Amino acid sequence: MIKLVIFDLWQTLAYRDVEYSTTSMMLEKTGADIPKDKFVKIFEESLQTKKWESKFKAYRNLCKNMGLKTTEYNIKLLRDIRDKAEEETKLYSHTMPMLKKLRKEGYKTGLISNSSVFAVEQIKQKTNLLEHIDYPLFSFDVGVIKPNLKFFTKMLEICKCKPEETIMIGDKLNDDVIPPKKIGMKALQYKDYETLKKDLKKFNVNI
| Tens digit of each residue's pLDDT (9 = 90 or more) over 17-41 | 999 899 999 999 999 999 999 999 9
Q: What percent of the chain has pLDDT over 70?
A: 100
CB 159 within 8 A of CB 168: no
**R_g of the chain computed on alpha carbons:** 17
As a whole number, mean pLDDT of residues 87-92 equals 96
pLDDT digits (tens, 9 = 90+) for 150-177: 999 999 999 999 999 999 999 999 999 9
Q: Residue 20: how many CB atoms within 10 A of its CB?
A: 12
The amino acid at residue 15 is Y
Query: What is 111-131 written as a DSSP string?
Result: EEE---HHHHHHHHHH--GGG
Smallest CA-to-CA distance from 91 within 205, 172, 14, 29 is with: 14
Q: What percent of the chain has pLDDT over 90?
A: 99
pLDDT of residue 108: 98
Question: pLDDT band at 195, cuts 50/70/90?
Answer: very high
pLDDT of residue 24: 94
Q: What is the pTM of this model?
A: 0.94
Q: How many helices (H) and strands (E) does the chain have?
A: 10, 7
pLDDT of residue 132: 97
CB 32 within 8 A of CB 66: yes
pLDDT of residue 81: 97
Question: pLDDT band at 51, cuts 50/70/90?
Answer: very high
C-alpha distances (whole Å) from 189 to each of 32, 63, 112, 128, 193 are 31, 32, 14, 24, 11
Beta-bridge partners for 111: 7, 136
